Chain A
Amino acid sequence: MKTERYQSPLWRAAGAACLVLLAGAVLGSAQDQSQLNRSLKILYAGRPGSDREKDFVGFLRKHFDTVQTGDLQKFQEADTQGFDVTLLDWDWNEFKGPRPQLSPNFSLPLLTLGVPGGLICDRWRLKAGYL
C-alpha cells in the first residue's frame, strides 16, 4: 500500500520538485560561498578565552582563511596593521568593557559590536554611539 502510494505520478512529481529545490539550495549556497572573499584578514579583539570569543572565532574561520585574536583590554590601533577588518567586542551587554582610544585620522576598517561597541563609538563621538 505504502509502495503504491509513492509510485503514484503525483508523489513522483512532488519528489522530483523536492530534489530540484534541494539541488537549487545546495548550488545557491555553493555559489554564495564562491562570492566570499576568504582572503580577507580578520582580527577579532575581544575577551580572551571567553565562550563568546570561541563562538565568534569559530564562525569567522568558516568564512575567512586568516582570523587572529587579540585582547580588547590591551588593544592599540597599531594592532590593526596587516588586517583588512578588525572586530572590537567584549562580553554581552557589558557596560564596563574597555573603550580604546584611536587617533582622529585612524582609517582602517572596524566593526564594533553590541553595547561595548556602542560605547566605544560614543567615546569616538561617532554617530553610531550608544544612545
Chain B
Amino acid sequence: MENAAHVELLSHEVYRTPLTVQPEFEFRRTPENYRRSYFGPGKVPDQIKVWRVQNNQKGNVVARGAGFEDSPDAEILAVGFNHGKAYGDVGIGRQANVLQWGYSDPPSQMTEAGRRLFVNCIHYIRKFDGQTPLVRLQSSARTNAMSTASFLKIIAEKDRKKFFTSSFPEELWEKYQSDFDGLLAYYQANLELVYRDRVYRVDAEIQSLGLDSNRKVETLERLFELLKDDTRREVAQRLLDRYTDGRTTFDFQNGRDRIYFTDVGGYKFQVVPQGYLIAK
C-alpha cells in the first residue's frame, strides 16, 4: 500500500468525531492491478482521488477487501491506495474490538489529517469494548474466484493447469483451459451461487431447487421448509449441512434481521447475538 487512502468513506463518523479530519485531496494514476481486480459496475477511472495519510510510500499493509464486510462485526474505515493488491483492499479496518491501522509511519510522519484520524480511531475503537469477533477467517470470498480467473492469463503456461485446479474444479479445465475470459464470465454470471469446498464451485443443487442465491435469508428459510417435502428433503438437508453449522437456530419471525451469511467465515449462515453492537 502507498501512503494514501481512497476518499469514498469520508462520511463515516470516524472522520468527524471527536476531531474533524480535513484531508487534502489529490489524484493519482490508476494502478494496473486495479483494472485486473475490479469487476464493475462500470470501469475504474484513469485517475483515483485520494488523500495522503503519511509521508512514506513503503512499509504499509492492506487487508483483503473482498468479504471484509460480510459479517456485521467488521467494517472498512479506509480503502488503501495500492499498487500490489486489489481495488478495495483495506488500509484501515475494524473487526469487533480490534482496529488495524495499516499505515506504518509514526505520528511525526503523518499528515495533520492522518494524525487526527489516528486520534479518532483510538476514540472509536473504545466504543467496541466487550465485543468479540463473530467470524474467524476460514475461507476466501466468492469474488476471489473472479480475481483468480483474471489472474490465469499472466501465469506461465506450464504452471497453468496446476494453478487452475488449485482454485477451480478439474472438470472445468477442459472447457476453459484456453478461454479464461469465459471462465471469468461463468463465475461472474453465477456469483450468487458460488461456494468454496477446497475450490470455488457453482452450487448446482441450489439451482436445481429453483433458488437464485445461496446467501439470501429467503434461501435458508426455504431449505428448512423443503425438509417437509419428501421428494426434496434429502437435497435440502445436504444444503443445510453445507451452509449452516448444524447448531445455530434461526428465528425467521422475530430475528430475521440478525441472520447473515459469511463467505470468509466458511460459507455459513450465522446469527448476530442479542445486544451485539453493529456500527453501520
Contacts and interface: CB of A to CB of B under 8 A. Distances in A.
Interface stretch (A6-14, A15-23, A68-76, A99-107): A99-107
A129 interface: yes
A129 B136 contact: no
B125 A110 contact: yes
B19 interface: yes
A40 B60 contact: no
B230 to A, nearest CB: 41
A107 B130 CA distance: 5
A110 B98 contact: yes
Contacts of B74: 127-128
Interface stretch (B103-111, B157-165, B197-205, B221-229): B103-111
Contacts of B71: 127
A28 interface: yes
B61 A114 contact: yes
B100 A107 contact: no
B54 to A, nearest CB: 10
B18 A113 contact: no
Interface in A115-131: 115, 117-118, 121, 124-131
B132 interface: yes
B137 A125 contact: yes
Given A42-B122, A93-B58, A128-B63, A112 B98 contact: yes
A131 B85 CA distance: 8
A130 B63 CA distance: 6
B147 interface: no
Contact of A126 (B119, B126, B128, B133): B133
B129 interface: yes
A129 B63 contact: yes
B143 interface: no
Interface stretch (B88-96, B174-182, B184-192, B239-247): B88-96
A33 to B, nearest CB: 8
B95 to A, nearest CB: 5
Contacts, number: 150
Interface string A85-106: 1010000110000000000111
Interface residues of A, number: 43
A66 B61 CA distance: 29
Nearest to A129: B63
B219 interface: no
Interface string A18-41: 000000000010001001110010
Contacts of B133: 124, 126
B18 A37 contact: yes
B31 interface: no
Contacts of B19: 32, 35-36
B64 interface: yes
A52 B58 CA distance: 16
Nearest to A115: B61
Contacts of A37: 18, 123, 126
A52 B106 CA distance: 6
Given A92-B59, A104-B132, A126-B133, A109 B101 contact: no
B59 to A, nearest CB: 3
A128 to B, nearest CB: 4
